[in-house]
Amino acid sequence: MDAHDEPALREPTLAEALLPPLSAVVLLGVGYGYLGLRVEALLLLSTLIAGLVARRMGADWARLERAIVAKISEALPAMLILVAVGFMIGAWMVAGTVPLLIHLGLRVIDPRFVVVTAFVFTAIVSTVTGTSWGAIGTAGVALIGVAEGLGAPLPATAGAIVSGAYFGDKLSPLSDTTNLAPLAAGTDLYAHIRQLLYTSVPATLLALVVYLVAGLTHAQVQTQADLASVDAMVGALERSCELHWLLGLPPLVVFLAAVRRRPPVPTMLLGGALALVLAFALDPDLARLGPALEAVVGGPQVETGHPALDSLLARGGMMSMTGPILLVLCAYAFAGVVGEIGCLRVLSTRLLEAVKDSQRGLMLSTSASTLAVALVTGDAYLAILLPGELFREAYPARGLDPKNLSRILEDSGTVVMPLIPWAVSCAYVSESLGVSVFDYGPWAVFCYLGLALSVAYAVTGIAVAPLPQLPEGRSVPSVD
């Protein structure tokens, strides 16, 4: 039977709608957060529970399979990006591009300012390119290497990198989520960005203070042995890696391509291939070709004689992204079943009915719904689109400018993704930087402060834009 010819399922009851997402939250919270069990298995158990609810509503396996396949097909572009990023990082490691950047950072960056530099530099890259993943996979990988070489605190540095990367993902006019949120809410892009400044500016300033204090505090306890370790790492890089300036061209090419909005997959493949070509041009030894290609697939094994440096450079490779890809498959299988039976739609509708005419209740409900969709699906697009569609008409009807809605969607959806352990964004960050979310999460100050400020503004009424009035007193939607 064609999917378009399938009979509509009955709407789930409130209990049926609650069971799948609540089961997922409990299983993941207790199983992963407390017991440390594998996320993939817990997601499949959550999918099984959702499937039993779907069966009770009359859906057969063929229907659910089509829903799962359709949902996973939406994630294929993200999977291709993961593979391309793994290829690029592996190629940059084995060719010498990342060692060159680490060597430069060790020579130039003051250890006291590594953490705050990581935030500022990654924020600039992500804002100019409009991509958090690209900023983390390029600038972030090099910066975490510099931090490790200088003895800076890795959790704080990784948190600063994530905060900087999602600064641009949230505010850049080139970012897909920055364009998607105002589209879902029914407002203008630049009105949306201006409204985001109410939460983003205070979060940025506080993040800068936190990262500056973290770096200065750590630098005070650095010993002479730490400085000797930096010199040892620099010496190991110079002895065992090709550090020619030409190997700095691939990151520049990737950066310029991202600025010009070139497709990410061919851009990253080009960046990796260019690094390999330059490496062989500088040292045309065909005996290195096989190991180099093996490294970009299975991951590099660099031997410098410095154990910490060897561990640092053993990152990347396409196989390193199989874990995140498996997580995507399991998470989207669950999202496909939940979406097919309409659980989130029922819950959000009930929530909207409960807040009645309260502006405060509407904004808090939007934030809660967006966060709930983010937690259940682990997908930023769904966290923006589903609540945006549900609450879009409610904001003008209750005298609120739609740009309030678009801001809440970003504050409660986009920037929380790297903090959700079962989200693909979180898996990507952990794999690329080599730091667990439980370590970098508390330091991703920008990411959770936006949500906290959004809730505070909803409660107090601060920075809440009313719907503009025509001279005759008639309300019109804002296009600011």
Instruction: Count each helix (H run) and each strand (E run) in the chain, helices first.
Output: 24, 0
What's the average model confidence in pLDDT over 37-65? Answer: 90
- pLDDT beyond 60 at 295: yes
DSSP string, 280-294: HHHS--GGGHHHHHH
SS3 state at 147: helix
Average pLDDT of the residues of the chain: 84
Report how far residue 257's alpha carbon sits from residue 22's, in angstroms, rounded to the nearest whole number: 42
The CA dihedral of 16, 22, 26, 29, to the nearest 10 degrees, is: 150
Q: What is the pLDDT of residues 56-101, one digit of tens each?
A: 998 899 999 999 999 888 778 878 888 888 898 889 888 888 888 8
Q: What is the pLDDT of residues 108-140, one digit of tens each?
A: 788 888 999 999 999 998 887 778 888 898 889
Q: What is the pLDDT of residues 321-357, one digit of tens each?
A: 888 888 878 888 888 898 888 887 787 778 777 766 6
Could you tell me how many residues make up the chain?
A: 480
- Give the least confident one: 177-191, 293-307, 446-460: 293-307
Report how far residue 49's alpha carbon sits from residue 64's, in angstroms, rounded to the nearest whole number: 13
pTM surpassing 0.85?
no
Place of tokens 């730490």: 226
Residue 47's pLDDT is 92
